Chain A
């Protein structure tokens, strides 16, 4: 089951292209729920522009794990813009997430 969440699709010339993010989880565990929540918050805060989040539950579709070389759960994969970046963990460390996703800071710098 994949759920897509996308905000308003208004074009913003400030960012180059939409972020295509994929979150891999393995069932609804505490970590995966936390990850999703964190991700959503970060995206809303810093990626006010276009982004798509695909949530892939590997317990349902295990064959998809090989494609993105998923080992750890949860893993967030930034598919676009290239290059592909992977972030493992429940995304509680926001700074690392931003660094990992290479997101330019939008609002005031979080602590």
Chain B
């Protein structure tokens, strides 16, 4: 068996050597690729993508792994094939010119053939061998061998020759892909090709459910390898196949301690001051018109302002509409788009099945590498009413985003009734996957509805349990404390009215107080005036008294003086001795 060059890292242990397909997701499911040197059968109904898958295997083998390949086609011709795969970004003409791919169209026209005796299919072998030798091919695709069954009359010869062919390919160490039409009943393919290809069988499926088609791939059989056994959704996009396996069911992704601001300061406060954890998932749910998209847009804008890349998946509004509408609340996304930091992808959810949406998101995120992703909304993206189907797909998305340490903000529309009912019951299945859940509600009071927000849960941090009023205005988003008074929560104009009332009351009280003060002041003045008057009276009384005393004293003095004078005139002795003396 020829040795196959392996350019893939040896993280997959293989007891069987593998030929990597280069298709992301498929190599993971098959733990390394298709079995090297052996044939693989790809079965599927018409239009499932068998030819595309086989061709991509060949092209990537040639361009990425250095293994040229031969594509032997029994139905299309080379020109048709080249034109068809151009949309996948493969330039077959160029590859043929560079001798990396050889195309051989084998045309069988039943009308032309007349069978006249014994024959074998050595011609086919020779052609194949020649093509392989001409470019040194290690990979071969036969698409689709079943055309031989229609073209050649003798099935017995055909079957035995096919058996011989696969043995021949195996002997030469060629990794081959055989495509076949899906059969009804017991057989995998219509003509039972699986009896020749026992090593690996991949089945492609395309089903339509509720008008949406989903494509699925399944590794039905893979001898010698533990392979993913489930159905995996896939897409054929502009870069070829994308298969999305559920590989991250280990829940072993790393976590970050860093926090990311939501862009609304008061909301960050409610989330213990710093916002959400990087790499966490945030659910914003609420009934229509509560402002979910606005929060998501603000989050995105904030990320861009930090210089990070962000991606917005919109499933309700177009890109232009989002940009215009967000401008009305002072969120301008246009400059970030121009700078290449923001990509908005808007599409109708009914465009693809939800698994295909997942694959598309996966591809876009992988290419752009944002740190923040917003999906608005996820509720109509997953149109399946079956919660059992929605949850795994959503789980894959969130798991994968967490693994890449991408912070995700997802909005969800609930159909809850009024504020008193519990609309979030409808979200229970989804909310358990989210780390932070912001609930938006409307409260109707006094003839108007106002938005409120509260943090329903936020893992890993202390969060506020307060309901705040959520205001969108042309200056942006703001959170305001609600008025709580007399056991009622008031928002909006009722709150403003109450506040005005309070202010008026306070003013009134103030004035009243002033009035009292003034009254007391004047009273004090009056009393003081009284005191002054009394004091004045007292003083005048004292003055009178003093005068009276002085007068009396002077009277006495005068009287005494007069009496002494008179006595002296009378020749008397002064009374001082007390004896009357005769005057000689």
- Which A residues fall within an 8 A CB radius of B? 24, 26, 31, 34-35, 38, 58-59, 62-63, 65-66, 69-75, 84-93, 96-97, 99-100
Bound-state Cα–Cα, A70 to B123, Å: 6
Smallest beta-carbon distance B78→chain A, Å: 11
Smallest beta-carbon distance B502→chain A, Å: 94
Bound-state Cα–Cα, A50 to B112, Å: 23
Identify 18 residue pairs between A and B in the complex whose beta-carbon atoms are under 8 Å apart, listed by A's number: A26-B122, A26-B126, A63-B130, A65-B123, A69-B107, A71-B123, A71-B152, A72-B120, A73-B119, A86-B114, A87-B114, A88-B114, A88-B152, A90-B118, A91-B117, A92-B117, A93-B116, A96-B115
When the two chains form their complex, are residues A62 and B117 in contact, meaning their CB atoms are under 8 A apart?
A: no
When the two chains form their complex, are residues B114 and A97 in contact, meaning their CB atoms are under 8 A apart?
A: yes
Bound-state Cα–Cα, A92 to B117, Å: 5
Smallest beta-carbon distance B107→chain A, Å: 5
Nearest to A102 among chain B residues (CB) is: B114
When the two chains form their complex, are residues B119 and A72 in contact, meaning their CB atoms are under 8 A apart?
A: yes
Nearest to A32 among chain B residues (CB) is: B122
When the two chains form their complex, are residues B152 and A72 in contact, meaning their CB atoms are under 8 A apart?
A: yes
Q: Other than A58-B122, A73-B121, A87-B116, give 15 A-B pairs with Cβ distance below 8 A.
A: A58-B126, A65-B123, A66-B127, A70-B123, A70-B127, A71-B106, A71-B108, A72-B119, A72-B122, A73-B123, A75-B123, A88-B116, A89-B115, A89-B119, A99-B114
Bound-state Cα–Cα, A88 to B117, Å: 7
When the two chains form their complex, are residues A66 and B104 in contact, meaning their CB atoms are under 8 A apart?
A: yes
Which B residues are CB-close (under 8 A) to A86? Answer: 112-114
Bound-state Cα–Cα, A88 to B113, Å: 7
* Contact count band on B: 20 to 34
Q: Which of B104, B115, B130 contacts A88 (CB 8 A)?
A: B115
User: 1/0 per residue B84-123: CB within 8 Å of A?
Assistant: 0000000000000000000010111000111111111111
When the two chains form their complex, are residues B126 and A62 in contact, meaning their CB atoms are under 8 A apart?
A: yes
Q: Which of B106, B112, B122, B148 contacts A73 (CB 8 A)?
A: B122
**Does B536 belong to the interface (CB within 8 Å)?**
no
Which A residues are CB-close (under 8 A) to B114? Answer: 85-88, 96-97, 99-100
**Does B124 belong to the interface (CB within 8 Å)?**
yes
**Does B240 belong to the interface (CB within 8 Å)?**
no
Which A residues are CB-close (under 8 A) to B121? Answer: 71-73
Q: Which 3 A-B pairs have the closest CB atoms?
A: A100-B114, A89-B117, A62-B130
**Overall SS of chain B's interface:** mixed
Smallest beta-carbon distance B99→chain A, Å: 14
Which A residues are CB-close (under 8 A) to B152? Answer: 71-72, 88
**Does B129 belong to the interface (CB within 8 Å)?**
yes
Which B residues are CB-close (under 8 A) to A35? Answer: 117
Nearest to B148 among chain A residues (CB) is: A71
Most buried by A among B114, B115, B118, B129: B114
Bound-state Cα–Cα, A70 to B119, Å: 12
When the two chains form their complex, are residues B112 and A85 in contact, meaning their CB atoms are under 8 A apart?
A: yes
Which B residues are CB-close (under 8 A) to A26? Answer: 122-123, 126
Nearest to A94 among chain B residues (CB) is: B116
Bound-state Cα–Cα, A38 to B118, Å: 13
Bound-state Cα–Cα, A86 to B380, Å: 59
When the two chains form their complex, are residues B107 and A87 in contact, meaning their CB atoms are under 8 A apart?
A: no
User: 1/0 per residue B526-559: CB within 8 Å of A?
Assistant: 0000000000000000000000000000000000
A74-B119 in contact given A87-B113, A97-B114 (Cβ < 8 Å): yes
Which A residues are CB-close (under 8 A) to B122? Answer: 26, 58, 72-73
Which A residues are CB-close (under 8 A) to B112? Answer: 84-86
Smallest beta-carbon distance B148→chain A, Å: 8
Which B residues are CB-close (under 8 A) to A31? Answer: 118-120
Smallest beta-carbon distance A45→chain B, Å: 15
User: Could you tell me which residues of chain B, from 395 to 442, have a CB within 8 Å of some CB in chain A?
Assistant: none
Bound-state Cα–Cα, A72 to B161, Å: 10
Which A residues are CB-close (under 8 A) to B127? Answer: 62, 65-66, 70-71
A90-B116 in contact given A63-B130, A71-B152, A72-B152 (Cβ < 8 Å): yes
When the two chains form their complex, are residues B123 and A89 in contact, meaning their CB atoms are under 8 A apart?
A: no
A73-B120 in contact given A58-B126, A65-B126 (Cβ < 8 Å): yes
When the two chains form their complex, are residues A97 and B106 in contact, meaning their CB atoms are under 8 A apart?
A: no
When the two chains form their complex, are residues A72 and B126 in contact, meaning their CB atoms are under 8 A apart?
A: no
Bound-state Cα–Cα, A74 to B126, Å: 12
Bound-state Cα–Cα, A97 to B130, Å: 29
Which A residues are CB-close (under 8 A) to B130? Answer: 62-63, 65
Q: Which of A58, A63, A87 contacts B123 (CB 8 A)?
A: A58
Which A residues are CB-close (under 8 A) to B106? Answer: 69, 71
Most buried by A among B104, B108, B130: B130
Bound-state Cα–Cα, A92 to B119, Å: 11
Bound-state Cα–Cα, A90 to B122, Å: 13
Bound-state Cα–Cα, A19 to B97, Å: 37
Smallest beta-carbon distance B234→chain A, Å: 33
Which B residues are CB-close (under 8 A) to A59? Answer: 126
User: 1/0 per residue B470-511: CB within 8 Å of A?
Assistant: 000000000000000000000000000000000000000000
Smallest beta-carbon distance B72→chain A, Å: 11
Bound-state Cα–Cα, A12 to B561, Å: 207
Which B residues are CB-close (under 8 A) to A69? Answer: 106-108
Which B residues are CB-close (under 8 A) to A96? Answer: 114-116
Nearest to A89 among chain B residues (CB) is: B117
Smallest beta-carbon distance B366→chain A, Å: 41
When the two chains form their complex, are residues A90 and B119 in contact, meaning their CB atoms are under 8 A apart?
A: yes
Which B residues are CB-close (under 8 A) to A70? Answer: 123, 127
Which B residues are CB-close (under 8 A) to A85? Answer: 112, 114
Bound-state Cα–Cα, A35 to B116, Å: 10
